[in-house]
Amino acid sequence: MLVASLLFAVMGVCVKWASAVYGAGEIVFYRSLVGALFIFVLSRSRGTSLATRVPAMHFWRSTSGVISLMLWFYAIGGLPLATAMTLNYMSSVWMAVFLIGGGVLVGTARVDGRLVAAVLSGFSGVALVLRPTIDQQQLWFGLAGLFSGMLAALAYLQVTALGRAGEPAERIVFYFCLGGLAAGAASMAWRGTTAHTTRGAGLLLVIGLLATLAQMMMTRAYRIGRTLVNACLQYLGIVFAFAFGALLFDDPVTLSALAGMMLIVAAGLTATLLRTRQQPEDLDTRSPPNET
């Protein structure tokens, strides 16, 4: 998980560099192409079939995951790296929102006040993180990052359902990549393509490799490790992104943004802890909420 968090942060650096040349749809397309080829070769070497009995489940899971990924890459291109990373990591807080909303609608679950407090803390953190963003006329990038976290939470629920349906991790990731290829191709057909340079093509290749390796490492971590420990280590990705942003992009360091990030991390960890206490561990279906 530690290495996966570092790789995702490095991938974010490469996405930010590539965003100066390519649109989010193009980056998603090539990231997905590399991932699909990697998973195809890996599955063939392991003898794992990629045929599925639940294509509709994969379709909806890929739809939410790919839109989340596009919004996240769009946000990375226009926001400080740590800000975009933090907003995407709001997925744990969004999961708590879904749990509370489901309990209220169904009427069978008692709403945990601690979960409500975690949600309110998380959104207070968002307000602090986005305060400098709004001042810089970057509101749309901030909203894109926020909604990427919400859709990542939906994708997490769908990944869990696919795991319970008996779908292996390689198959889930493969169809996610196919969804990214389709969405990226549609975006490129609509907005046009960008002429490649050696540097640009290299960045796209590195983004695909880093994302796929980090994704596989994170998936394995969630399958064999404890959920809360993984969540703690996963949030180190924000620390890595903050360091890279300050060193490589001269991203501004503000007290309000730092306070907001800490609130979001605390809210996310609290929500994860409360969820794991309410639900038994299922090592066969645990999958990461981000980039999966």
8 A C-beta contact, residue 62 and residue 292: no
Q: What mean pLDDT do residues 224-229 have?
A: 69
Judge whether residue 134 has pLDDT over 60: no
Q: How confident is the model at residue 287 (pLDDT cuts 50, 70, 90)?
A: very low
Distance CA 52, CA 74 (A): 31
Query: How many Å from the N-terminal Cα to the C-terminal Cα in the chain?
Result: 14
Cα torsion angle, 7, 95, 38, 216, sign? positive
Instruction: Say what the pLDDT of residue 71 is.
Output: 95
- pLDDT for res 2: 87
141 burial via Cβ count (<10 Å: 0-12, 13-18, 19+): buried
Output DSSP code: residue 112. Answer: P
Question: Which structure tokens are listed for 222?
Answer: 């969630």
Predicted confidence (pLDDT) per residue in 117-133, tens digit: 877 788 888 878 777 65
Question: pLDDT averaged over the chain?
Answer: 83
Q: How far apart are CA 72 and CA 61, in angstroms?
A: 16
CB-based contacts of 195, cutoff 8 Å, min separation 6: none
Instruction: For helices 169-191 and 139-164, give the axis angle rounded to 10 degrees.
Output: 150
Q: What are phi and psi of 160, to 5 degrees?
A: -60, -45
Average pLDDT over residues 4-20: 94
pLDDT of 278 above 70: no
CB 32 within 8 A of CB 26: no
| Residue 286 confidence (pLDDT) above 70 | no
The domain spans of the chain are: 2-278
**What does 119-149 look like in DSSP terms, one character per residue?**
HHHHHHHHHHHHHHHHHTT-HHHHHHHHHHH
